């Protein structure tokens, strides 16, 4: 029964993260309490109206440290896993800025 319970759930997910600091050379390990809990695979800097400059990335992260709200790091940077509402807000801000830019042309 334990095998069924432990293997029937998703242990890792692709997550959108925000980095506070400089990004390490990619791919880079995401650490929680000095243990590897994921891997950062891409990073982009976004400078949009209403958002300011943000360093966003994608990475595979284990669910357990995210659920426990453990502090995550990647190299010298603090890593914050964004929830669905935060990702939606960023997406809408980017769409509205793109719409304004195309209307101005």
Q: Residue 86 to residues 2, 24, 27, 82, 91: CA-CA distances in angstroms?
A: 35, 23, 24, 6, 9
Lowest mean pLDDT among 8-12, 25-29, 55-59: 8-12
Q: Provide the pLDDT for residue 28.
A: 94
Report the half-sphere exposure of 77 (CA within 13 A, side-chain side).
Answer: 22
CA 58 to chain centre: 5
pLDDT in tens, 30-83: 999 999 999 999 999 887 666 678 889 999 999 999 999 999 999 889 999 999
Band of pLDDT at residue 2, cut at 50, 70 and 90: confident
Whether pLDDT at 97 is above 70: no
Q: Mind listing the domains of the chain with CATH numbers?
A: 9-104 (2.40.30.110)
Neighbouring-strand partners of residue 56: 18, 44
The 10 Å CB-count burial string (b at 16+, else e) for 65-79 is bbeeeeebbbbebeb
């Amino acid at each position: 029964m334990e095998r069924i319970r432990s293997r029937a759930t998703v242990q890792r997910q692709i997550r959108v993260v925000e980095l506070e600091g400089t990004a390490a050379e990619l791919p880079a390990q995401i650490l929680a309490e000095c243990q590897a809990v994921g891997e950062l695979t891409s990073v982009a800097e976004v400078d949009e109206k209403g958002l300011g400059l943000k360093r966003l990335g994608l990475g595979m992260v284990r669910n357990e440290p995210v659920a426990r709200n453990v502090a995550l790091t990647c190299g010298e940077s603090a890593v914050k896993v964004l929830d669905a509402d935060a990702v939606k807000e960023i997406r809408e801000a980017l769409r509205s800025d793109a719409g304004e830019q195309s209307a101005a042309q």
